[in-house]
Chain A
Amino acid sequence: MAAPIVPETESIRKAVSLLNAVAAGRFPRLLSRLLQKLHLKAESSFSEEEEEKLQVAFSLEKQDLHLVLETISFILEQAVYHNLKPAALQQQLQSIHLDQDKAEAFASAWAAAGQDTIEKFRQRVLTPQKLETIGWQLNLQMAESMQAKLKSPRAVLELGVSNEDSKNLKKVFAEFSHQELFEFYNKLETIQAQLDSLT
Chain B
Amino acid sequence: MAAVGKTMAYGHSESGGGRGGFLGARVPAEVEAMARAVRDVDKETFRRLLKVTVNALEGKDCKESVKLIAESTNLSEEQLAFLISGMYTLLREALRLPLSTFKQEVFKEDLKELRIPEDFIADFSSIVFGNRRPVSEGTAQRSRLPSVQDFKWRVDVAISTSSLARALQPSILMLLKLSDGTAHRFEVPVAKFQELRYNVALILKEMNDLEKRSILKIQD
Contact = CB atoms under 8 A, between A and B. Distances in A.
The answer on A and B forming one complex is yes
Interface of A: 77, 80-83, 118, 121-127, 129-132, 134, 136, 138, 140, 144-151, 153-157, 159, 161, 170, 172-178, 180-182, 184-185, 187-189, 191-192, 194-195, 198
Contacts of B170: 195, 198
A195 B165 CA distance: 22
Interface stretch (B35-43, B45-53, B70-78, B148-156): B148-156
Interface string B185-218: 1111110110111011101101100110001100
Pairs A-B, 4 closest by C-beta atoms? A129-B186, A175-B145, A127-B187, A148-B96
A82 B195 contact: no
B56 interface: no
Nearest to A198: B170
B140 interface: yes
Given A146-B96, A149-B220, A129 B155 contact: no
B136 interface: yes
Main secondary structure of the interface of B (DSSP, over half): mixed
Interface residues of B, number: 57
Given A83-B166, A149-B97, A134 B192 contact: yes
A79 to B, nearest CB: 11
A121 B163 contact: yes
B189 A123 contact: yes
A144 B140 contact: yes
Interface of B: 10, 95-98, 101, 136, 139-140, 143-148, 151, 153, 155, 157, 161, 163-167, 169-174, 176, 178, 184-190, 192-193, 195-197, 199-201, 203-204, 206-207, 210-211, 215-216, 220
A84 to B, nearest CB: 10
Contacts, number: 152
Main secondary structure of the interface of A (DSSP, over half): mixed
B196 to A, nearest CB: 5
B98 A118 contact: no
A184 B200 contact: yes
B165 A81 contact: yes
- Find the residue from B96, B169, B186, B188 having the highest chain A CB count within 10 A: B186
A122 B157 CA distance: 11
A26 B186 CA distance: 42
A172 B164 contact: no
Contacts of A184: 148, 151, 200
25 contacts: A83-B166, A127-B173, A127-B185, A127-B187, A129-B185, A130-B187, A131-B189, A144-B143, A148-B97, A148-B98, A149-B97, A149-B101, A153-B207, A157-B203, A170-B184, A172-B176, A172-B184, A174-B176, A175-B146, A176-B148, A185-B204, A188-B200, A191-B153, A191-B193, A192-B197
